[in-house]
Structure 1
Amino acid sequence: MTTIRPLADPDLPAVATIYAHYVTDSLATFDLTPPSLDEWRAKAAGLAAAGMPFLVAEVDGQVAGYAYLAQYRPKPGYRHTAEDTVYIAPGHTGQGLGRSLLGALLDLARATHARRVVAVIADYGEPASARLHEAFGFEEAGRLKGVGFKHGRWIDTVLFQLHLG
């Protein structure tokens, strides 16, 4: 059974573990060192203070994915644009958790001050994230060529955006 719910502090070790996999074993993020549990606590607290949602997907009592919204850029003029983040634990991809998380996140986004949601997706040959966002009406807004370097490769990012209405 899958449940989508707000993050709770005991979920943070699982969130950290999920993200650490993508940091060390993939090109999906340009982080090179996994954030510590204290860094995750600070991130969660900052998002909560800003009124931004942070959700987890729980499968049979275990955190199997997470998603959150954050302000797209720190300057005040960007305060009405949010950026989404969605990660699914290895072994749980392809089961619809990303769709469930992003759908719930966008429902909550409409209750924030956000007018647009942006997704910044590393383009390294795996189309799942782009397809997920396109399924919710995100449109490609541009490409930044060779802006990330990881595991010996230069990687593009593709910007997608959704107008919330």
Structure 2
Amino acid sequence: MPLILRDATPADLPAILAIYNHAVAETTAIWNETLVDLDNRRAWFDLRQTRGFPILVADIDGTIAGYASYGDWRPFDGFRASVEHSVYVEKDHYGQGLGKSLMTALIERAKTGGIHVMVAAIEAGNTGSIALHTSLGFRLVGTHHEVGQKFGRWLDLTMMELKLG
């Protein structure tokens, strides 16, 4: 199975939509409870493109198996060199190292794009994501307790950061 990491195109949006909506419906990786439609993902894609932010996909034999992107951490000029990222893997491809491959490529893109800090906001119970980020050099900066809700319970948010330069 040859893996290709590449920039997303509009043709990838249906697969990105399916991955996103699975995370919404089945996980606490996204604290949204409402499924989105293709127009929502098109608007997200267009905004990322307009701002010059990358959207990378993991393409395995023509199938999108995951994606990663970053965008504004906070929408104020003083934060322009800091970004918050997201990485999602299609459920049938969990545990194959795609998250790490996508994150490694995204980190390189951030370095070449003049980003100084990448911020990760991770549901505190997502030990796999926390371990992935730790393995990539992210450091724990704190946990916000009971700042969100999903599936009828309070969620804690672990904050991690990676200084790039």
Whether the TM-score (by the shorter chain) exceeds 0.5 is yes
Match of 2:150 in 1: 150
Match of 2:77 in 1: 76
**Partner SS for 2:133:** helix
Q: Is 1:162 the counterpart of 2:165 in the alignment?
A: no
**4+ residue runs over 3 A deviation:** none
Match of 1:141 in 2: 141
TM score, norm. by length of structure 1: 0.96
TM score, norm. by length of structure 2: 0.96
**Partner SS for 1:43:** helix
In the TM superposition, what is the alpha-carbon distance from 1:113 to its structure 2 partner?
Answer: 3.2
Question: In the alignment, is the contact (CA less than 8 A) between 1:51 and 1:112 conserved in 2?
Answer: no
**1:92-103 alignment, distance < 5 Å:** 92-103=93-104
Question: In the alignment, is the contact (CA less than 8 A) between 2:146 and 2:154 conserved in 1?
Answer: yes
**Partner SS for 1:99:** helix
In the TM superposition, what is the alpha-carbon distance from 1:114 to its structure 2 partner?
Answer: 1.5
**Partner SS for 1:34:** coil
Match of 1:118 in 2: 119
Deviation per CA, 1:28-56: give whole Å up to 9, x if none: 11001122211111111111111111000
Match of 1:87 in 2: 88
Question: In the alignment, is the contact (CA less than 8 A) between 1:23 and 1:34 conserved in 2?
Answer: yes
Amino acid at match of 1:144: H
Amino acid at match of 2:79: Y
Match of 1:3 in 2: 4
**Partner SS for 2:130:** helix
Match of 1:63 in 2: 64
Unmatched segments (≥5 aa) in structure 2: none
Deviates more, 1:84-93 or 1:42-51: 42-51
Question: In the alignment, is the contact (CA less than 8 A) between 2:73 and 2:84 conserved in 1?
Answer: yes
Amino acid at match of 1:109: A
Match of 1:31 in 2: 32
Amino acid at match of 1:17: A
Match of 1:132 in 2: 132
Question: In the alignment, is the contact (CA less than 8 A) between 2:124 and 2:143 conserved in 1?
Answer: no
Richer in helix (by share): 2
Deviates more, 1:73-82 or 1:148-157: 73-82
Q: How far apart in 1 are the matches of 2:123 and 2:36?
A: 19
In the TM superposition, what is the alpha-carbon distance from 1:146 to its structure 2 partner?
Answer: 0.5
Amino acid at match of 1:133: H
Question: In the alignment, is the contact (CA less than 8 A) between 2:121 and 2:159 conserved in 1?
Answer: yes
Number of residue pairs matched? 164
